[in-house]
Amino acid sequence: MIIVNLKGGLGNQMFQYAMGRRAAHLGKQVLKLDINFLISTRVDNNVTRRDYGLSIFQIQEEFAQPREIAEFKNSQTRVLSRLFPRLRSNPYVRETFFHFDPRVMELTEDRYFDGHWMSEKYFSSVESVIRADFSFKRDILDKGKSIHAQIKNSNSICVQVRRGDYVNNSTIAKLHQTTSLSYFERAVVLLAAKVTNPTFFVFSDDSKWCEENLKNLKNVCFVEKELAHHGADNSDYLQLMKACKHFIISNSTFAWWAAWLSTNINKTVVTPVNWFNDKKIITRDVCPESWIRI
């Protein structure tokens, strides 16, 4: 059995699922999901409240039972994971640093994975499996279909601006930096030079900031403004973003997955160099090598 600890927003949960899915697939194991962290942090003001979000996909969805989790997370195995992180027989696998760790790739049987696992290197060997699992259960809502058609019928560029708790929560803001306006301006210039007659589709959790600061974009659609009050959810936004031909993204795992799931073989993806305020956190493996970091 493989169990993965789910934490963070949908993008983070997708990374964690993909990590566990590869291990379970190669080891011919059952994959189960531990959602207790998501439940327990709903009242923690230092953590952005996140609900379980993978139900929008055609994944292998099975939740771990308390007794199954306890077998992996008992006090003895957790102590061993701290004292001997390289012990191959240890069933509790804690992520010891942020960049890719090749040691865990050999662990495909009876493991509990606790970490973020933010690199496609953890699951690129089973890419077709991951893409199939992350197919959507339902179509885009009716209001979103007109925007989807515009995206498909233009040289569409997804501009994703993540602000929200990066701005409003001081604890989270200390860890995650807000992507600057100058980054977006440079990225727009870069892609405008590569893409003929581009149309920009802006996705953000702060539509007002985008309308005020990106108002000089030509051929622009502010998607949140268009879909407001129509019941759009993560499934709609991710499907619309994924449909774009090129991408300018923030330091956002949600946008990362939209760009990665895109099937445009000629896509250009622009991403920030730094994903955290702390420059000691090594993020070299976060983005595929073909993506442009500025």
In the chain, where are the structural domains located? 2-133, 142-293
pLDDT at 163 > cutoff 90: no
Structure confidence at residue 100 (pLDDT): 95
Q: How confident is the model at residue 257 (pLDDT cuts 50, 70, 90)?
A: very high
Q: What is the pLDDT of residues 87-128, one digit of tens each?
A: 456 789 999 888 999 999 999 999 999 999 999 999 999 999
Tokens, residue 216? 């000089």
Structure confidence at residue 274 (pLDDT): 86
Of residues 178 and 137, more confidence is placed in: 137
Residue 220: count of CB within 10 angstroms of its CB: 18
Q: How confident is the model at residue 168 (pLDDT cuts 50, 70, 90)?
A: low
Candidates 3.30.70, 3.40.50, 2.40.160, 3.30.1490; correct CATH number of 142-293?
Answer: 3.40.50
Q: What percent of the chain has pLDDT over 70?
A: 87
| Mean pLDDT, residues 38-55 taken together | 77
Which of 35-44, 100-109, 149-158, 213-222 is most confident?
A: 149-158
Range name among 76-80, 174-178, 190-194 with the lowest pLDDT average: 76-80
Tokens 């590869």 -> residue: 22
pLDDT at 79 > cutoff 60: no
